[in-house]
């Protein structure tokens, strides 16, 4: 049975791949993007099975109006894929106030508002699935990506809580956590002005590795898009789905490290209550 999807950020990367694959298998896609001509080739091929709208994730009024219009014109939407976003690169001290605000407004607040706009419609229709594209960077961190991590850890916390709130209405969530992947992520990276003081620090070392091509990126976006579709078709999709050969050991090591630190200070933690 065909499905109807609402996908943000469809001009490139995962959004574009998902849109291509879903249309090819006979589904309908409501695609949002900022460049309205980016999907002209797909519109020519698939006609009215591709619904297109443009907005900026920092425009909250436009988000709600677009989501409302998509549900009104398409009827039931089975899967919402919250995919749009970008990366901000630079040590925390290097970032400008404007860069910080735009990153938070786009990746975190924009994603939150997409979910908030979709929830009443999903609740009214008796359920649905929201796939929130986060990152392995919602579980681990790299120097020079502090604000990007802030948005990804933030949206993971938000989704984790909201999933509990709306489970009684048949609304499910999957947080998708890709690792380094061969997409256009790097082309869209916003880069802060570097400070010399950070050149010989972990922040500077990450900068050197990225701009010298030292990062070995093995993630296959085509396989990951297939996995997102496969898991969306499941009756009970997981709350989190990590994707990528390097992602599993990275997240596992981070979780084990946090657990070990918790256990190391267990006595202090447990001693902080009032004595009866």
Tell me which residues are annotated as active site: 148
Instruction: Give the residue from 148, 152, 151 showing the smallest Cα distance to 138.
Output: 152
Integer Cα distance of 128 and 79 in angstroms: 6
Integer Cα distance of 267 and 83 in angstroms: 42
Distances (CA, A) of 55 to 35, 52, 64, 146, 276: 9, 10, 10, 26, 57
Contact between 177 and 135 under an 8 Å Cβ cutoff? The reply is yes
Instruction: Give the residue from 127, 135, 132 showing the smallest Cα distance to 170.
Output: 127
The residue written with tokens 């109807």 in the block is 4
Integer Cα distance of 184 and 164 in angstroms: 33
Helix-, strand-, coil-residue percentages of the chain, each rounded to 5? 50, 15, 35
Instruction: Give the residue from 73, 68, 69 showing the smallest Cα distance to 48.
Output: 73
């Amino acid at each position: 049975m065909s499905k109807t999807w609402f996908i943000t950020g469809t001009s490139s990367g995962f959004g574009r791949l998902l849109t291509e694959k879903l249309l090819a298998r006979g589904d309908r896609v409501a695609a949002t993007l900022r460049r309205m001509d980016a999907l002209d080739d797909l519109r020519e091929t698939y006609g009215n099975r591709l619904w297109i709208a443009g907005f900026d994730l920092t425009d909250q009024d436009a988000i709600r109006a677009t989501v409302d219009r998509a549900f009104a014109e398409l009827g039931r939407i089975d899967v919402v894929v919250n995919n749009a976003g970008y990366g901000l690169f630079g040590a925390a001290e290097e970032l400008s106030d404007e860069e910080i605000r735009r990153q938070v407004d786009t990746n975190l607040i924009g994603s939150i508002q997409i979910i908030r706009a979709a929830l009443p419609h999903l609740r009214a229709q008796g359920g649905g699935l929201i796939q929130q594209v986060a990152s392995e960077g919602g579980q681990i961190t790299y120097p020079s990506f502090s604000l990007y991590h802030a948005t990804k850890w933030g949206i993971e916390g938000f989704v984790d809580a909201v999933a509990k709130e709306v489970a009684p209405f048949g609304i499910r969530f999957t947080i998708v956590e890709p690792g380094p992947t061969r997409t256009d992520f790097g082309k869209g990276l916003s880069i802060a002005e570097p400070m010399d003081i950070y050149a010989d620090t972990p922040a500077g070392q990450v900068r050197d590795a990225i701009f010298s091509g030292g990062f070995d990126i093995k993630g296959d976006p085509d396989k990951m898009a297939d996995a997102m579709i496969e898991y969306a078709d499941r009756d009970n999709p997981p709350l989190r789905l990590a994707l990528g050969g390097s992602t599993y050991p990275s997240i596992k090591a981070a979780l084990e490290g946090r657990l070990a630190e918790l256990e190391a200070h267990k006595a202090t933690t447990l001693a902080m209550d009032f004595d009866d």
